[in-house]
Structures are given as C-alpha cells and as structure tokens.
C-alpha cells in the first residue's frame, strides 16, 4: 500500500488521509463564482453553435463526443479559476502534546521484523536522535510511556530509554487510560502506540476507548511484527477435568495451532512429575486450521498432579516458548455413592454389581423391588437405609451422587418423588441414568412426568413394546467420549465396539432432544425398523441425565462370542458410572477467577454453600484458609455476595511461585450445621500468555485507531505519522486552506482532454 499512497499523493498533491480530514471549499466570493459558472455556460453554448454546422464523418454521434470533450475542458477551467481549497484544522506548532506509548512486554522479543526483534524497531524509531521523533518534536511536546501489565512514564528524551521487553502480560486498555489521565492537564493532539497488539488482560480496551472518544483524543497505532509467523506450532489450549477419581484415565483435549508446517508429523507428549505418561503422533492440517487432539493419560496417583503438554521444538521454528502448556488435575481417592433402583429381578442388576464390585471408588447401593412394598437392599451402610423403599426426602436422596433407574415404572414413585428426581439433577447436580426395560421410558409411563423433561430422548406417550435385536455402533461423538473407550487407542476402541455382540431393546427410542448428544446407536437386525438410540445424554441444570434403553448389556459379558478374560463389560460399566458422578458438586464448592495466577496477581475465590437439601445458604460464617508453597497459612474471611444466593467471596494475591491450596470451611449462624469444601489448588507461575497467538494482532490495533479517530501504520508507512498527527483536529488547532487547483491530476486531465479533442477532429477531417 505505500506505493498506492505515494501515487495518490503525486496525482492529488496531498495524501488520502489529508482529504479524509478536510472539507472542500472555493476561495472566491459568491458573485465571482456565479460569474465563472455563467461564463462556463456561455462557452459551452458557443461550442454547441460552433459544432452545429460542422459535418463530421460520424454525424451526430461524433459531434456529441466533440461537444462533451469541449464542455469537460470548460468545466475544468472553471474549477481551476474558482480556486478550490481543502479546509483542514492543523495543530498549532509546539502548543499541543502527544503521548508516545511503547509496548515493553516479552512478545516484543519475537524476531519477525525483517529478521530482527520487534523491540528493535521501537528502539530504533523512538530513540532520542531518530528522524521520526525529530519530526514529531518540531510540532509537538512529547511525553513517553512504556507499558505491559501497567504503564509508567519515561522521562525521555526518547521512548527507547529503559526498554527491557520483560513484561509478562500486556494491558493495552490500562496503558491508554493511564496516558489519558496523565495528559488531562494539557492540550492533547493524540496518542501514538507502538505495539504488536498482544493484549492479554482479563478485560479488553473497550472502556478506555470510550473515554478517549469522549475526550476527543485520537490514537495512532503502529503495528510491529508479522501477522502470520513463518513457521510455528503452539499448544493453544489444554482442557482437562479439574478433578477425577483415582483409577480414572484422564482425557486431555489439546488444541494445536500452527503456521507454515502443514502436513508435518509432530509428537505430542504429556509429562507428569518429569516423566512421560502419554504420547501421540499428530499430523498437522493445512495452514490456518486448528486441530483438536485427544490424549488419554493412564491412571495417576492420588493427589494434585501437574500435567505438561508439549510439542518438541521443530527445526524451522523461531519461537519455542508457546510449544507447551500446563494443567492441574486433582486425583481424589474417595468413594462415590450411587443408588441403583431396579423394579424387578433380572440379570442386569447382578452383572452391573459384579462389574464394579472391585472398584474401590464406587459405592453402588442397590434397591430391588421383590414384591409390593418389599425390597432387597444391597450395599447399605445402615440397617435403616432405604427400609421404606426409594428415598422420600430431598436430604435422603441428595446424599447420593448419582441414581440409576432400571426397569421400574413411573407409578412406583409418588409425584413428589419424581419431582425430587428432576431436582436431584437440576439443583443438586447429580447424574441420572435410565436403563431400558419393559417398565422404562414411555413403556413405563414416564411421558408427561417431571422426568420426561430431564431425559435426553423424546418419550412418545403412545409407544408400545417393540422387542428388537440391535447391533450397536459408535457415533462420531461416542468415538471420542471417554467412558466408551474400550481400547488403548481410539482406533482399538472403535474396533472392539464393532465386534461386540448385539443387545435387545423393548423401548422404541428414536429421537434425541435438540440439546442432547447421541453416543451409541443401534441398527435393528434386518434393517426393517430403522435405527434406534442406544446411549444419549444431556446437561440439565447443574447435572447430567443419560438414557441407555437396552435391557441386557450383560450379554457383553456372557455371550458365547465373548472370551472368558474379556473385560469389555466391566470396563464399560466402571467408566460409565465414574463419568456419571464426575463433576457432581458437594454442598460446598470452591472456584477461583484463574487457576494459574501470576505472583502478585489478585485472585478472587468464590465459595457456593448449600444445606443438606442443596438449597442456598445465606448469612453463614465462611472462612478460606490459603496455604502457600512454603506452608505459610493465611486466613481469609469470605463475604456473602449479594449477586447470588449462597455465594461468598474473598481475594488474595499469591506472593510466590508454586502450588497454593485453598480450604473453605463454613458454619451456619446457629452453629448447628458446618461443612468443608474439597481443597482448591492453584498453580502460581510466571505467566506465558505473551508467547501465544504470537502474530501481530493488526485487527485490534486497527480497531483502537478506528474507534478513536486515529490511523493504523506499519513500520513501512509510519513516516506519514507526523503529518497525520498535525491534522488530527486534537488540541489547539488553526484552520489551513490547502490549494487544489494546481494538482498534477488537474493538469494531466486538462492536457488529456485537449489532446483527445484534437486527435478526434484530425481523424474526422475537422482539424
């Protein structure tokens, strides 16, 4: 674009930016302008009379063209004689101040400015003896600032003094606001920001831009660096569960981004405690595409585990700091209590119990109805547990973390119990799984009940029994779903699913709700009745509900084609029940505004408190104990938040690098009820945000300039900055009238019109 700008300035005398900021006018009085217009009309009329009697070869068409050329010449002469001008408001020399802000963060070390670091441009262009500062200094008083997370004033005489490019984070909005406030006592022509646009503050610059626009302070941004690094691969995001049960494989969803490495095969490595725990070879897609990779980490020991996900530095990479990310996972060694209610004796209950009996972290309590008002209770810890059947109070039901409903009809519950089951999912945040059977789903009369809304599938009220043998298949969503992994890799798992024997279903379930995810489907033998849903789930309120409308998953254990040592059935049910209770909240839960704060960064801790019936508790005494990496303990009283019932807040700033533990304990005002939350772990570390999404963010810098009335530049176009600032209409200004009659474009056009008219007359025999 510099060539285009130079060509425009050559033809029209001034750059396009000057025309954008000026207003068109003529420098003659109104009578003179009227006289010029009348003279022009007379000249055009004379031309009409002149050509009226001329006989040209082309007849009227040629005469019309000649007349149009002569009229254009006359109009151009009238334009020049009217002395057109461009009226602009120019800054009064040395009466206004310009704030110059330089990005002092780490990303300015990236070497993508003509093979040099981005910061080298700032040091060169803004040095005390630089031509750019000299031109700015001729017109303005200059104040210099450097910024990263915070902005500070630099005494001068140049902005390059003291730049170390060591800032761990960048807050562009805070820097602009700091400069605006500091310059509030002087007339300001504008602000100049030299940066790569790497803004990684918690909030964007919107508020700062609004204040600048209200103060009529334009911002001129200079973007340094390449928008697309030549060769780079980065670990953009790592998603892992915050907490898992001991013995559960951790599934990490890793998002990779790259430029210039399309088609390359790179290893993705997961490390824990200095040892490699998982690896996978990944083929990078075409440029510009993000790739999500799922890596399964085998059983981790109980405790807080720090996982490092890394792609080794590639030979062509200039930047390696964005090749790794860390994540904390809490591996909890506790027993999760699950209630399984079965409405009739059948094999499914027996084999589910057998599948999980060796799992030390699953406490499966089973209630089987053997006759009217008679029940077989297995796994209860107290002789009075479930003695009257299914729980009839919220406190009793909400003590469980998940509920499995077997072949039991809706009429076996009271209306209140069905409502409680729905609230168990939505309010308590528990997991609910409904199994298939002749008394389940629509066949069990659940259509129109409170559970119909909870279920992820549509319950057709008029559906009848439809016994069918189903060949089970993974859906694309199911292929990547952690509980359904029956092999060491996704490919091995998919192959195992293809060889499992078919199951039978009596429930006609074909439609999932819009927000549900279907994981397994089943083709009816012979293909005559169409495909059915075998496993689907959805989020509902704070919890999740799943539907598994088959009645004999035990065939995956006892079918003749299954080897004696095959563990597919056991593995499926262990993983399924572990997934069902994962993420189920306790009565007291703790979250933080960030899991990975920087030392000195303020962290807000939020605690949510509920009673035994999982209703919000307000006005309690809540305290957070923060333990530092060195064992130092800090007690923080938590204040009741007025924004949400049952929420309490406190904040602290970690002072050192390492793992922090936050323990929250609460007690009711009357002292009758107390509860403690599972510890929250934070990993205070030196932030690495500056190295990610490392390209120069031109869209943000363009937005800052556009919203405040400034302009965006690159190192190639920054030479125009002083002149644009002079015409920015900020501060103390004076009106200038720039002549337009002598633009080269006018002379070229006038000569072109006369030459064309003469050539036409000569060609047609009129010259």
pLDDT band at 236 (very low <50, low <70, confident <90, very high): very high
Summary mean pLDDT of the chain: 88
- What pLDDT is stored for residue 340 in this prediction? 97
Look at residue 462 in the predicted model and tell me its pLDDT: 54
Mean pLDDT, residues 154-159:
79
pLDDT level of residue 254 (50, 70, 90 thresholds)? very high
Q: Are 190 and 220 in contact (CB under 8 A)?
A: yes
CA distances from 443 to 105, 410, 467, 545 (A): 65, 10, 12, 19
| pLDDT confidence bin for 496, thresholds 50/70/90 | very high
Measure the CA–CA gap between 329 and 307, rounded to whole angstroms. 7
Please provide the CATH number assigned to the domain covering 93-227+695-731: 3.40.50.410
Question: Would you state the pLDDT for residue 83?
Answer: 87
pLDDT at res. 408: 96
The answer to whether residue 38 scores a pLDDT higher than 90 is: no
Q: Are strands 336-342 and 402-405 parallel, antiparallel or unpaired?
A: parallel
pLDDT of 689 higher than 70: yes
Question: What pLDDT, on the 0 to 100 scale, is given for residue 674?
Answer: 87
Q: Over 80: is that where the pLDDT of 202 sits?
A: no
- pLDDT of 745 reads 86
pLDDT at 436 over 90: yes
Q: Which residues contact 312 (CB under 8 A, 6 or more apart)?
A: 266, 267, 269, 323
The pLDDT score that the predictor gives to residue 487 is 87
Strand partners, 633: 627
DSSP 7-47: HHHHHHSS-HHHHHH-EEEESS-HHHHHHHHHHHHHHHHHH
283 contacts 264 by C-beta, under 8 angstroms: yes
Enter the tokens of residue 118. Answer: 């981005």
Identity of the highest mean pLDDT range in 85-99, 142-156, 613-627: 613-627
DSSP reduced 3-state for 254: strand
Compute the 3-state secondary structure of the chain and give helix, strand, coil in percent, each to the nearest 5: 30, 30, 40
Q: Is the pLDDT of residue 290 over 90?
A: no
What are the tens digits of pLDDT across the range 173-191? Answer: 999 999 999 999 899 999 9
Output the pLDDT for position 247.
87
CB–CB of 726/248 below 8 Å?
no
**What is the phi/psi pair of residue 338, to 5°?**
-125, 135
Question: What would the two tokens of residue 15 be?
Answer: 């750059």
Predicted pLDDT of residue 59: 64
Residue 161 CB coordination number (10 Å): 16
Q: Is the backbone peptide bond immediately before 37 cis, with ω within 30 degrees of 0?
A: no
Residue where the block lists tokens 């004796």? 345
pLDDT digits (tens, 9 = 90+) for 357-387: 999 999 999 999 998 889 999 999 888 889 8
Q: Which top CATH class is 336-463+534-581?
A: alpha beta
CATH architecture, range 588-686:
Sandwich (2.60)
Q: Which of 312, 256, 311 is nearest to 284 (CA)?
A: 256
What local confidence, expressed as pLDDT, does residue 521 receive?
Answer: 95
Residue 292 CA: distances (Å) to CA of 233, 257, 491, 747 = 13, 9, 16, 61
Element (H, E) at 535: strand 531-540
Q: Give the burial class of 586: count Cβ atoms within 10 A of its Cβ; 0-12 exposed, 13-18 middle, 19 or more buried.
A: middle
Kindly tell me if the per-residue pLDDT of 20 is higher than 90: no
| Topology agreement, domain 336-463+534-581 and domain 588-686 | no
What per-residue confidence (pLDDT) applies to 67? 80
* Top-tier CATH class for 232-332: mainly beta
Q: What pLDDT shows up at residue 58?
A: 55
Interhelix angle 172-182/206-215, rounded to 10 degrees, is 30
Mean pLDDT of 702-721: 93
Q: pLDDT band at residue 57, thresholds of 50, 70 and 90? A: low
pLDDT, residue 1, reads 56
**Between 269 and 382, whose confidence is greater?**
269
CA distance 301 to 333: 9
Tokens 């030390």 — which residue? 360
Give the ranges where 450-597 is alpha helix by DSSP (H): 450-454, 476-479, 490-499, 555-558, 568-581
Average pLDDT over residues 719-739: 83
Other Cβ atoms less than 10 A from the Cβ of 105: the count is 26
- Position 51 confidence tier, pLDDT thresholds 50, 70, 90: low
Domain map of the chain by residue range? 2-90+736-763, 93-227+695-731, 232-332, 336-463+534-581, 588-686
pLDDT of residue 107 exceeding 60, the answer is: yes
- Alpha-carbon Rg for the chain, nearest whole angstrom, is 38
Q: What is the pLDDT of residue 97?
A: 92
- How many of the other CB atoms lie within 10 Å of CB of 251? 18
Q: What is the pLDDT of residues 622-634, one digit of tens each?
A: 999 999 999 999 9
In angstroms, the Cα distances linking 653 to 601, 605, 608, 629 are: 5, 11, 21, 13
Between CA 140 and CA 90 the distance in angstroms is: 12
Whether 755 has a pLDDT exceeding 90, the answer reads no
Q: Beginning with the edge strand found earlier in the chain, give each strand of the sheet holding 712-713 in spatial order.
A: 151-154, 140-147, 96-103, 188-195, 219-223, 712-713
Confidence class of residue 8 from pLDDT cuts 50, 70 and 90?
Answer: confident
DSSP character string of 628-663: -TT--EEEEEEEEPSSSTTEEEEEE---SSEEEEEE
Q: Contact, 740 vs 81, CB < 8 A?
A: no
């Amino acid at each position: 674009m510099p060539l285009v700008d130079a060509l425009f300035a050559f033809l029209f005398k001034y750059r396009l930016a000057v025309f954008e900021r000026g207003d068109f006018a003529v420098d003659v009085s109104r009578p003179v302008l009227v006289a010029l217009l009348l003279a022009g009309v007379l000249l055009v009329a004379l031309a009409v009379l002149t050509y009226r009697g001329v006989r040209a070869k082309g007849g009227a068409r040629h005469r019309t063209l000649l007349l149009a050329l002569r009229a254009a010449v006359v109009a151009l002469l009238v334009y020049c004689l009217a002395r057109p001008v461009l009226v602009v408001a120019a800054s009064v020399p040395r009466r206004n101040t310009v704030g110059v802000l330089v990005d002092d963060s780490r990303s300015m070390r990236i070497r993508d400015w003509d093979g040099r670091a981005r910061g080298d441009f700032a040091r060169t262009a803004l040095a005390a003896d630089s031509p750019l500062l000299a031109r700015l200094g001729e017109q303005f008083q200059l104040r210099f600032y450097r910024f990263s997370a915070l902005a500070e004033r630099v005494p001068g005489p140049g902005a390059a003094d003291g730049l170390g490019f060591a800032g761990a984070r960048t807050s562009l909005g805070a820097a602009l606001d700091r400069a605006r406030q500091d310059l509030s006592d002087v007339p300001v022509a504008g602000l100049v920001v030299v940066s790569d646009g790497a803004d990684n503050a918690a909030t964007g610059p919107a508020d700062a831009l609004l204040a600048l626009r209200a103060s009529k302070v334009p911002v001129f941004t200079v973007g340094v660096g390449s928008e697309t690094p030549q060769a780079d691969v980065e670990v953009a995001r790592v998603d892992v569960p915050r907490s898992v049960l001991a013995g559960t494989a951790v599934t990490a969803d890793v998002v990779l981004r790259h430029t210039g490495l399309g088609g390359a095969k790179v290893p993705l490595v997961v490390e824990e405690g200095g040892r490699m725990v998982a690896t996978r070879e990944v083929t990078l897609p075409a440029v510009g595409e993000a790739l999500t990779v799922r890596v399964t980490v085998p059983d981790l020991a109980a405790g807080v585990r720090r996982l490092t996900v890394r792609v080794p530095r590639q030979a062509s990479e200039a930047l390696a700091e964005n090749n790794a990310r860390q994540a904390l996972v809490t591996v909890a060694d506790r027993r999760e209590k699950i209630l399984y209610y079965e409405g009739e004796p059948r094999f499914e209950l027996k084999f589910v119990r057998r599948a999980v009996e060796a799992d030390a972290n699953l406490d499966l309590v089973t209630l089987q109805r053997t006759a009217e008002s008679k029940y077989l209770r297995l796994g209860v810890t107290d002789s009075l547990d479930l003695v009257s059947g299914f729980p009839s109070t919220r406190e009793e039901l909400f003590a469980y973390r998940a509920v499995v409903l077997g072949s039991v009809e809706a009429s076996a519950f009271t209306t209140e119990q069905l409502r409680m089951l729905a609230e168990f999912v939505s309010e308590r945040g528990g997991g609910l799984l409904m199994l298939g059977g002749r008394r389940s789903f629509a066949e069990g009369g659940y259509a129109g009940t409170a559970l119909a809304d909870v279920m992820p599938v549509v319950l057709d009220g008029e559906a009848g029994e439809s016994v069918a043998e189903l060949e089970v298949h993974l859906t694309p969503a199911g292929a990547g779903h952690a509980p359904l992994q029956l092999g060491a890799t996704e490919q091995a798992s998919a192959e195992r699913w293809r060889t499992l024997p078919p199951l039978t279903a009596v429930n006609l379930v074909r439609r999932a709700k819009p927000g549900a995810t279907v994981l397994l489907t089943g083709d009816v033998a012979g293909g005559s009745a169409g495909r059915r849903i075998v496993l689907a789930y959805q989020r509902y309120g704070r919890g999740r509900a799943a539907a598994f409308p088959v009645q004999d998953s035990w065939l995956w254990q006892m079918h003749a084609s299954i080897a004696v040592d095959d563990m597919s059935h056991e593995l499926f049910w262990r993983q399924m029940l572990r997934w069902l209770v994962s993420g189920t909240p306790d009565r007291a839960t703790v979250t933080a505004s960030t899991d990975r704060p920087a030392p000195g960064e303020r962290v807000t801790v939020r605690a949510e408190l509920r009673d035994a019936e999982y209703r919000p508790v307000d006005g309690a005494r809540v305290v957070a104990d923060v333990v530092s990496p060195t064992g130092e303990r800090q007690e923080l009283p938590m204040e009741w938040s007025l924004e949400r019932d049952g929420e309490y807040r406190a904040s602290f700033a970690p002072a050192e690098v390492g793992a922090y533990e936050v323990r929250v304990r609460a007690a009711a005002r009357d002292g009758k009820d107390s509860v403690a939350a599972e510890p929250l772990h934070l990993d205070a570390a030196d932030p690495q945000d500056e190295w990610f999404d490392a390209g120069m963010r031109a869209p943000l810098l363009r937005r800052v300039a556009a919203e405040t009335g400034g302009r965006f530049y690159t190192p190639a176009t920054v030479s125009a900055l002083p002149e644009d600032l002079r015409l920015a209409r900020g501060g103390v200004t004076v009106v200038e009238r720039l002549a337009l009659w002598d633009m080269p474009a006018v002379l070229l056009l006038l000569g072109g019109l006369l030459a064309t008219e003469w050539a036409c007359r000569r060609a047609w025999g009129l010259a």
